[in-house]
A and B are shown apart, each in its own frame.
Chain A
Amino acid sequence: MAQTQTGVGGLRSVPALLRRNASEFGTAPAYREKEFGIWQSWTWAETADEIEALALGLLNLGVKEGDFIAIIGRNRPYLYWTMTAAQMVGAVPVPMYQDAVAEEMAYVLEHCGARFAVVSDQEQVDKVIEVQDRLHQFEHLIYLDPRGLRKYDHSHLHQYSHVQNQGRAARDEWITELRAREAKLDYDSRAVMLYTSGTTGKPKGVVLSNRNVIESAKSSCAFDNLTRSDDVLAYLPMAWVGDFIFSIGQAYWTGFCVNCPENPETMMQDLREIGPTYFFAPPRVFETLLTTVMIRMEDAGRFKKRMFDKYMAVARRVGPAILDGKPVSFGDRLSYAIGNLLVYGPLKNTMGFSRVRVGYTAGEAIGPEIFEFYRSLGINLKQLYGQTEATVFITAQPDGEVRSDTVGVPSPGVELKIAENGEVFYRSPGVFVEYYKNPESTASTKDAEGWVATGDAGFIEEGSGHLRIIDRAKDVGKMADGSLFAPKYVENKLKFYPNILEAVVFGNGRDRCAAFINIDLAAVSSWAERNNIAYASYQELAGHPKVLEMVQSHVEEVNRSVAEDSMLAGCQVHRFVVLHKELDADDGELTRTRKVRRRIIEEKYADIIAALYDGSKTVSTRTEVTYEDGRKGYISATLDVRDAKVVPVASRMAAE
């Protein structure tokens, strides 16, 4: 890799990296996107050309230095180019969640005061127009896909390709200005602003500098030996810091190729076709994939099923050890090789993981069983711990030291310290600049010496030096009798069952725990089909007595497993309810990255929680739901409240 290595050589901004890539390996692929059934690709030289044309077009439209440019849409090369074009002209890109309802968009657009927005299609244009009259500063809207937009008033609405064409035409007029603005960019200029999903309160705009982005990309690429020959699939929301670092930071640093799926529904097929070597997914994606595999295996013939079961047992026993390069007997190696030929190889191919060299999961704790499943197949899945404020990386697991219960050692350049109350603090070159227009929050998160509070409680394991996260610091609590309450721990155990999509455990300050459960429609409907259970809707299926029985058996199994840990035995679930609707980000119950917002759920379903604790057998409730277009409606239901068997803790201790 003949790359200029330090920031001193002029590589002090993302556009500078682009210029280097275009001149040093201009013919290597930079972006691919499947369109009209064919993978279209752009080399680094072509990418630089497209980005420059857009940047000139933006200048032509009057983008000023320091402007914010909102970017809304699914992962497409054009939108990634917009990020770099914005940086080139001295503006700051603000990628936003495309599935956000208009209300949420209005907040972010107003907060950052964006004058320009680049969006994917009519749906997003409509949303922006809907809230536009509240945004006095907003001026121009640029869209990618002209479909359905022909009749719109085009005085402030522009097609992406037209902006580029105008930029090309006005090149002579603007090129000097562009070069001048580009030359002004340095390590301290703002590279991007990302809004945190915020499990509490309004989203905050995290400003990251070129230093944050480039230093983080540099050290993380070295950590995992990422090179120009790697391939990633860009399918996670562009507004998420991870996607920004992988698809822009690391891609620009090493020069690897970013592949964009045809549309969200084809993601699995595209994953298979690309076969990424570097793959990143939140636990939910791995869970869903595992659920799909398990459903398919339930439906498979008896022979296939037996073969799968036999070799998966082998894989579970020796797979992780082989992956870690530990000694394994010849006989076991042989049966693993046969298993690889018959089961693991084809399975990995089906899932699109044949070429994965480095795989990461982060965002939430992953169930140990899920984690082990992928590792046992020979997929180098590792855990990473990070957040937007750290430009992703806080800790990561080095090859050979991968375990499901830790999140790894501090990433290169990161210092860790644990406060007295157990909260994890870190300091690194990736530490964010500030929360935009929010000095109080900045001050309360980042101290004068640059230490940042994560809000997570954890400890550093003696011996290995790995960090272990217990829970969100503010979620960890005490039960009424003083024993430890760690909801996430129990929820993760529940969520391992393919039939359970989401679980929320309550019990802080109470005498016992209770839980909300969401069934996984894909898994449960397949189960219902096999067991001749008829249902007409999600609600009916979720309330079916047979389904409740099944969920109850899962809860009781979890209780038995929780009881084994004397510290957490108090967290057993005494009563539970299977919710009549899926928890949804549109209703504010989850964040856009699908983390549970406990406080909001507690308020919204106060009546059901009351029923969980007052011993009633059923509860009638009426819940507000928000549709994707922002309209609201109501669902009414009568839910069964079930009691689950718990392992009596006191007697067990007495027996010991």
Chain B
Amino acid sequence: MTDQAEGYTTADGRKIGGVVMEMKNITLRFGGVVAIHNISFDIREGEIRAIIGPNGAGKSSMLNVISGFYTPSEGEVWYKGAKRPPMKPYEVARQGVARTFQNIALFEGMSVLDNVMTGRLTHMKAGILPQMIWKGRAEAEETENRIIAERVIDFLEIQHIRKTPVARLPYGLKKRVELARALAAEPTILLLDEPMAGMNVEEKEDMCRFILDVNDEFGTTIALIEHDMGVVMDLSDRVVVMDYGKKIGDGSPDEVRNNQDVIDAYLGVQH
């Protein structure tokens, strides 16, 4: 894939740019268990890239490698044209990679607004003291961050729960708040770990709409893991398919759908 010409244009006329992140021969081992075996793929600027595969295929591990939570045992992660040294997750976040989690990880006791504001933490530069006495830079920064947080709240239509503690919210809204927090970081790449899991049809439709709008309005590159095949095929520009830690397919939704290995992995074959 990497030797392709710079970018391409999608069927609906969106311009997809050059490679923004590239995974080169990634292998991840936990002791004797090989979670990811020699996988390479790239993510291009402005595209929606899906990672799919049966349970235990290593999708979440792959997302964790991208977000810096795991350091690959072998292989390299290239980001914006440079090789990324081993990093802590918060350093990766500062570079512009934000994520949501499969099992919602919000601050339950805090309000929606405060949760969204935490998404701005990587952008706050004022020290502890100015923050405490609320003077100078800290104040200006907070105002600026609040504006961005409010725009995200408006974008995701969660104004009515702005001041509601997250613990009181239903599941579907929590998922949306998590997306809001990730968006507040104004990421270059947004990683979504099963954004639709456990949602009803209506909530899924809303979430799809939001993902497309985020990609469309902010030009955010999105990498997502999802089990709902309908959703994946509708949303994504390109799909990586994993099975038992190996890459068994990569390409447009149509290509992947007709790939025999993929069909076997999902429907099972006699060994």
Q: Could you tell me which A residues sit within 8 Å of B by CB distance?
A: 35-38, 147-148, 150-151, 262-263, 265-266, 269
Contact = CB atoms under 8 A, between A and B. Distances in A.
Contacts of A265: 159-160
Nearest to B146: A37
Interface in B139-194: 146-147, 150-151, 153-155, 157, 159-160, 162
25 contacts: A36-B150, A36-B151, A36-B153, A37-B113, A37-B153, A37-B159, A37-B162, A38-B150, A147-B155, A147-B213, A147-B217, A148-B216, A148-B217, A150-B216, A150-B217, A151-B12, A151-B13, A151-B216, A262-B159, A262-B160, A263-B159, A263-B160, A265-B159, A266-B160, A269-B160
A35 B146 CA distance: 13
Contact of A266 (B12, B159, B213, B217): B159
Given A265-B160, A266-B160, A36 B147 contact: yes
A262 B153 CA distance: 12
B177 to A, nearest CB: 15
A263 B12 contact: no
Given A37-B113, A37-B150, 16 more contacts: A36-B147, A36-B150, A37-B153, A37-B159, A37-B162, A147-B155, A147-B217, A148-B213, A148-B216, A150-B216, A151-B12, A151-B13, A263-B159, A263-B160, A265-B159, A265-B160
Most buried by B among A36, A150, A151, A266: A36
Nearest to B163: A269
Query: Top 10 A-B pairs ranked by shortest CB distance?
Result: A265-B160, A36-B150, A266-B160, A37-B150, A262-B159, A266-B159, A263-B159, A36-B154, A148-B213, A36-B151
Interface string B10-36: 001100000000000000000000000
A591 B173 CA distance: 31
B147 A263 contact: no
Contacts of A262: 159-160
A35 B154 CA distance: 8
Interface string B127-148: 0000000000000000000110
Interface of B: 12-13, 113, 146-147, 150-151, 153-155, 157, 159-160, 162, 213, 216-217
Contact of A263 (B151, B157, B213, B217): B157
B180 to A, nearest CB: 13
A496 to B, nearest CB: 28
A269 B159 CA distance: 10
Nearest to B152: A36
Contacts of B159: 37, 262-263, 265-266
Contacts of A266: 159-160
A222 B155 CA distance: 43
Contacts of B12: 151
A388 B47 CA distance: 52
Contacts of B213: 147-148
Contacts of A269: 160
B149 to A, nearest CB: 9
B93 to A, nearest CB: 25
A34 to B, nearest CB: 8
A36 B159 CA distance: 8
